[in-house]
Amino acid sequence: MKQVFKNCYAFDDVKISKEVIYVEDGIIVDDFDESEADEIIDCKNLALLPSFVDMHVHFRDPGFTYKEDLETGSHSALAGGYTSVLLMGNTKPTVSSPEIYNDIIKRGKDLDLIDIEQVYTITKNFDGKTLDHLESMPESVKYISDDGHGVNDDMVMYKAMQKAKNLNVTMTLHEEVAEVSDFDYEIAEDAMTIRDCYYAYKLNCPVHFSHVSTKGAITAIKYFKDLGAPITCEVTPHHLLLVDKGREEVKVNPPIRSKEDRKTLIEMIKNGTVDAISTDHAPHSKEDKANGSPGFIGIETAFSTCYEVLVRSGEISLNDLVRIMSTNPARLLGLNKGKIEVDFEADFTLIDLDESYIYKEEDIKSKSKNSLLIGQELYGKVKKVYKKGVLKYADN
């Protein structure tokens, strides 16, 4: 299958070009005679970006599929321009056994919508202490996480990092000292981040820090990165968009921070400390949300949010945004995508950068509708999404 993508403005992490892109069997190739093409796709002067990769997503499957499932979550991801996600393990049962892990991976492949990667839990069933289940962990696991919980016991985390290093997997960490968070969530995040930066540095264990939200935490990460620690980190669109919202006003974990925290996160994006933007897409039913469940959906609006806050505002270039939404997270997950270069997979998202739209509840593809942005005017409309050259989403 030979395809030609024409009349597009192509952006990746380093270049902008008005070019023709050639694809054969889902892979970007050098040019060929267009008369050989099976399909010629007129991109109509849209921006063509490498499709986005989200390193922090909740699809609630198994166990909470009334909120989201693999299929609805995948359609939601495609609507946001994503073709790859890393799912967290706080399902029911938790992803602490090969059976649950393998079932999720198989069902994701059978759907053939997006690439689904799945974390394994650090401690068995999030009990905060048991690590024996890691010995039977499938070889295809790339990341382990107790997302939603910090590993509070210092010795358990020390041993977990040793195991992770020996098993050649990366930890992706939710940083929160449980005993402190009810009193001071800023210190709760900062303190555990500092501990785990130091452990990663001394043990030379790869660690990825999830949804970093405070000035103290991101400053510690930069410090240990500069020392050579094998650590990376992500921030979320909502922590870049919102400031000074209380826990009751916007229930999310970690909570919305101060203007100073937000300013520092943006500076750390600009200086390269932040490796990825991840959504922490967290679907809930209206009843669960009303009862205090933290988080909200965001994968469908992530690009528009970041495009407004970071690019249209003049903070960074669109190339820089591609770097932290596509190129870097693809590299961190070991995926052959995220760049518009020969031999990379043809995962493309076509966007009208100038089109504004009102985000309406009836347009949401997620099973859950708990978005903060319903009724808001957004810029940068995702028009089409291709995965290995196959059209997976088209805006109606």
User: Which residues participate in catalysis according to the annotation?
Assistant: 280
Tokens of 303: 């690009």
Do residues 338 and 146 make contact, with C-beta atoms less than 8 angstroms apart?
no
Q: What is the DSSP string of 46-85?
A: -EEEEPEEEEEE---TTT-TTT--HHHHHHHHHHTTEEEE
What is the DSSP secondary-structure string of 252-282? -SSPP--HHHHHHHHHHHHTT---EE---B-
Cα–Cα dist 301/324, whole Å = 16
Q: What is the DSSP string of 184-218?
A: -HHHHHHHHHHHHHHHHHHHT--EEE-S---HHHH
**Cα angle, residue 225 at apex, residues 220 and 226 outer, rounded to 5°:** 100
Rounded to a whole number of angstroms, the CA Rg of the chain reads: 20
The beta-carbon contacts of 260-264 under 8 Å, at least 24 apart in sequence, are: 260/215, 261/213, 261/214, 261/215, 264/215, 264/218, 264/219
| 391: amino acid identity, one letter | L
- Amino acid identity of 164? A
Largest separation between any pair of C-alpha atoms in the chain: 67
**How many C-beta neighbours within 10 Å does residue 334 have?**
9
- For the beta carbon of residue 25, count every other beta carbon within 10 angstroms: 11
Written as one letter, the residue type at 47 is A
